Structure 1
Amino acid sequence: MTDRKCQLAANLARVEDRISSACASAGRDREEVTLIVVTKTYPASDVRLLSELGVRQVAENRDQDAAPKAAECADLVLKWHFVGQLQTNKVRSVASYADMVQSVDRTKLVTALSTAAVRAGRELGCLIQVALDAESGERGARGGLAPDGVEELADQVAGAAGLRLDGLMTVAPLAGPYAGRQQASFERLMEISSRLRAAHPAATMVSAGMSADLEEAVAAGATHVRVGTAVLGVRPRLG
């Protein structure tokens, strides 16, 4: 086993211990929480090593990095998540490799994703990104829409050809009433998810929590955690 593979294996084991402990503390089964490894800024060779170590779900946030990486790893059994803010001019490319887009936050994007999915003959899973730092009718600093816009956008996704409404995503906000209150923010997301599921029972996915706050997300009820640094190491500076 190479040094890098040994490092990734050790990091994955530590993250697995954290998730298992968090599930035990919350009285949840370990199988209720899925790990998504965020591979942004890291090479396809790391994705290949992660696959060898049993990782099946990976995430990227920039199409210009993700598209060639996904192509290079096309032989692997992986589910690709797009988690970054998505511009409509990148949608056609993203729809060619992503299995799920976790950052759906506006009508224009829903329309573009639907068109691209139909053209590609694929079904894209969609999560609505909720911005807990956004006021009514606004979008948050990290993307996402205000909680009061979720119901309307969810209906649009559910009714769009080529798209599947799978649930919600959030990033713990840096501003607003939930700043510095990760578990409270994730608990608020679970409340929004409960309302969403009343209208869309299949939209059960709740993607929340990253390397620094996955325990709080698990405690609140998240079904998926997105972990990058704790698995791959401190990211190299871009630019």
Structure 2
Amino acid sequence: MSKIMENIGSVLGEIRAAALRAGRDPAEVTLVVVTKTRTVAEIEEALAAGVRHLGENRVQELRSKAPFLQAQQPTWHLIGTLQTNKVKQALEWADLIHSLDRVSLLEELVKQCERRGRPCDALVQVNVSGEHTKQGLAPADLEPFLRLVAGQRWVRVRGLMTMAPLVDDPEKARPYFRRLRELRDQVRDLGLEGISMEHLSMGMSGDYVVGVEEGATLVRVGTAIFGPRD
């Protein structure tokens, strides 16, 4: 068994254990393997281990790798910041965009989806920590933004995404993940048309276990599977 396959097994085991500790069905949690800077050969090893969901940070990398992996039919997640001038290219390959965070991006997604005649799925990124270095809406701006999204038909919001601060102790990420779950519950209570809150994308290699314990349905893990980047 390759190291990549072994690491995937270990991560899936930890996801399962964390879900059970939280009284959740492990099947509710999807592992998104982050393939930033990784080669097609490395990604093929992950797919051979049974992974079906892949995440890329940059549109350019997504476009360069996805054509070589079409036969395996992975689901592609665009998890990094999306520039408006890259929306058309992103929609060629991304099945779920994790980083909807501003009106200008919403407008460009609507325009390009309408041209294609197909809606797209997205998560709204929330900057729960309030760090200036992180993208995302402030929690107070979430409801007004979602009411704007609910007024159109081309972009379907399927949940929320956040990034916790980078900390040595994963427990320090817990309040941020818990806050995103609380925001999800508040949005559900609004009953906005076309807005579903089925997904919480939260947790990366250093804190995905805590993310699962706090309700994550998507965890974005790269380094814990492939090892440190060069």
Same-fold status (TM-score > 0.5): yes
- 3-state SS of the aligned residue for 2:118? coil
Displacement of 1:16: 1.0
TM-score scaled to structure 1, two decimals? 0.88
What is the aligned partner in structure 1 of residue 122 from structure 2?
A: 126
Equivalent residues in 2 for 1:147-166, closer than 5 Å: 147-166=139-158
What is the aligned partner in structure 1 of residue 174 from structure 2?
A: 183
The one of 172, 197, 200 aligned to 1:203: 197
Displacement of 1:81: 0.7
- Return the alpha-carbon distance in structure 2 between the equivalents of residues 105 and 113 of structure 1: 12
Q: Would the aligned equivalents of 1:127 and 1:166 in 2 still touch at CA under 8 Å?
A: yes
What is the aligned partner in structure 2 of residue 194 from structure 1?
A: 185
Residue 142 (structure 2) pairs with residue 146 (structure 1): no
Displacement of 1:140: 4.2
Amino acid of the structure 2 residue aligned with 1:181: K
- Return the alpha-carbon distance in structure 2 between the equivalents of residues 202 and 24 of structure 1: 25
What is the aligned partner in structure 1 of residue 98 from structure 2?
A: 102
**Structure 1 stretches (4+) deviating beyond 6 angstroms?**
none
What is the aligned partner in structure 1 of residue 210 from structure 2?
A: 216
TM-score scaled to structure 2, two decimals? 0.91
Between stretches 194-203 and 22-31, larger displacement belongs to: 194-203
The one of 49, 71, 75 aligned to 1:75: 71
Displacement of 1:209: 0.5
Report the count of equivalent residues: 225
- Return the alpha-carbon distance in structure 2 between the equivalents of residues 19 and 41 of structure 1: 24
Residue 56 (structure 2) pairs with residue 65 (structure 1): no
Q: Structure 1 stretches of 5 or more lacking a match?
A: none
- Return the alpha-carbon distance in structure 1 between the equivalents of residues 65 and 145 of structure 2: 30
Between stretches 91-100 and 71-80, larger displacement belongs to: 71-80
- CA distances 1:26-47 after superposition (whole Å, capped 9, x unpaired): 1211112111111111022222
Q: CA RMSD in A?
A: 1.9
Displacement of 1:183: 0.6
- Return the alpha-carbon distance in structure 2 between the equivalents of residues 91 and 108 of structure 1: 11
Q: Would the aligned equivalents of 2:101 and 2:124 in 1 still touch at CA under 8 Å?
A: yes
What is the aligned partner in structure 2 of residue 14 from structure 1?
A: 10
- CA distances 1:105-144 after superposition (whole Å, capped 9, x unpaired): 000000111112222333311100000233xxxx842211
Between stretches 196-205 and 183-192, larger displacement belongs to: 196-205
- Return the alpha-carbon distance in structure 1 between the equivalents of residues 20 and 111 of structure 2: 43
Amino acid of the structure 1 residue aligned with 2:162: T
Residue 19 (structure 2) pairs with residue 28 (structure 1): no
Between stretches 153-162 and 14-23, larger displacement belongs to: 153-162
- Return the alpha-carbon distance in structure 1 between the equivalents of residues 135 and 149 of structure 2: 17
Displacement of 1:22: 0.8
Q: Would the aligned equivalents of 1:197 and 1:204 in 2 still touch at CA under 8 Å?
A: no
Displacement of 1:25: 1.5
